[in-house]
C-alpha cells in the first residue's frame, strides 16, 4: 500500500476535532468493555463510528486504545498494537488524542513515553504536549 503525503496536515493533533476527512482516524482512550460514555470516547461514538462494546482497535473512523484497566504497563501493549496498525495503513492519518489523560487519570508525562515509537511517523499526529515531552527525552 502506498503512503499518502501528509505534509500539508497539522503538525500535532488538533485540540478539538469536530470532523474528519475520509482518510483520517480519531485515536481515543477507551475502557476495555467499550463503554464509550464520556470524554473523547463519547465523541468517537457520536461522530466517528466507535461501537458500543468494542474497547480496542479500528471502529469506523476511530481507533480505541484501552486505558482504564490498570497502570501504564497495561496500556503499552495496546499502544504498540496501534503503532503496528498505523504502519500497515500508510494511507491513513491518525490523530492521537491525549489518551488516558482525562477520565483514566494519567498525566501526559506518564502516557507520552508510550508513544515514543510513533514519534516522527509520517501518518501519526500526537498531541503537542506529548511531542514536547518526547523531544525532551531525546
In this structure, what C-alpha cell is assigned to residue 129? 504536549
Judge whether 69 lies within some domain: yes
C-alpha span between 28 and 96 (Å, rounded)? 7
The DSSP code for 114 is: G
Show the cell assigned to 88.
500497515
Domain span at 44: 24-136
pLDDT value for 1:
56
- Taking only the tens place, the pLDDT of each residue in 3-38 is 677 877 889 999 999 999 999 999 999 999 999 999
35 lies in a domain? Answer: yes
Indicate whether 17 belongs to any domain.
no
Start-to-end CA distance of the chain, whole Å, equals 31
- The reply to whether 131 falls in a domain is yes
Q: How far apart are CA 69 and CA 73, in angstroms?
A: 10
Residue 45 lies inside a defined structural domain of this protein: yes
The answer to whether position 18 is within a domain reads: no
Kindly report the pTM of this predicted structure: 0.94
84 burial via Cβ count (<10 Å: 0-12, 13-18, 19+): exposed
pLDDT digits (tens, 9 = 90+) for 89-134: 999 999 999 999 999 999 999 999 999 999 999 999 999 999 999 9
pLDDT confidence of residue 123: 96
Q: What is the CATH number of the domain that holds 104?
A: 3.40.220.10
Mean pLDDT value of segment 61-82 = 97
Helix (H) or strand (E) holding 73: helix 72-87
Q: Let me know if residue 62 belongs to a domain.
A: yes
How many separate domains does the chain show?
1
Retrieve residue 128's grid coordinates: 503537542
Distance CA 132, CA 82 (A): 21
Say what the pLDDT of residue 7 is. 76
Which residues on adjacent β-strands are paired with residue 53? Answer: none
* Per-residue pLDDT band at 2 (split at 50, 70, 90): low
Q: What pLDDT, on the 0 to 100 scale, is given for residue 97? A: 97
Amino acid at each position: 500500500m502506498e503512503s499518502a503525503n501528509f505534509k500539508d496536515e497539522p503538525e500535532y493533533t488538533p485540540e478539538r476535532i469536530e470532523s474528519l476527512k475520509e482518510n483520517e482516524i480519531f485515536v481515543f482512550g477507551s475502557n476495555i468493555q467499550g463503554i464509550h460514555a464520556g470524554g473523547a470516547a463519547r465523541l468517537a461514538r457520536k461522530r466517528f463510528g466507535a461501537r458500543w462494546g468494542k474497547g480496542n482497535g479500528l471502529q469506523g473512523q476511530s481507533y480505541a486504545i484501552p486505558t482504564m484497566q490498570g497502570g501504564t504497563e497495561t496500556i503499552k501493549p495496546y499502544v504498540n498494537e496501534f503503532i503496528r496498525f498505523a504502519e500497515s495503513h500508510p494511507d491513513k492519518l491518525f490523530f492521537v488524542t491525549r489518551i488516558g489523560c482525562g477520565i483514566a487519570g494519567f498525566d501526559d508525562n506518564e502516557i507520552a513515553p508510550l508513544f515514543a515509537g510513533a514519534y516522527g511517523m509520517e501518518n501519526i499526529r500526537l498531541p503537542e504536549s506529548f511531542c514536547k515531552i518526547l523531544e525532551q527525552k531525546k
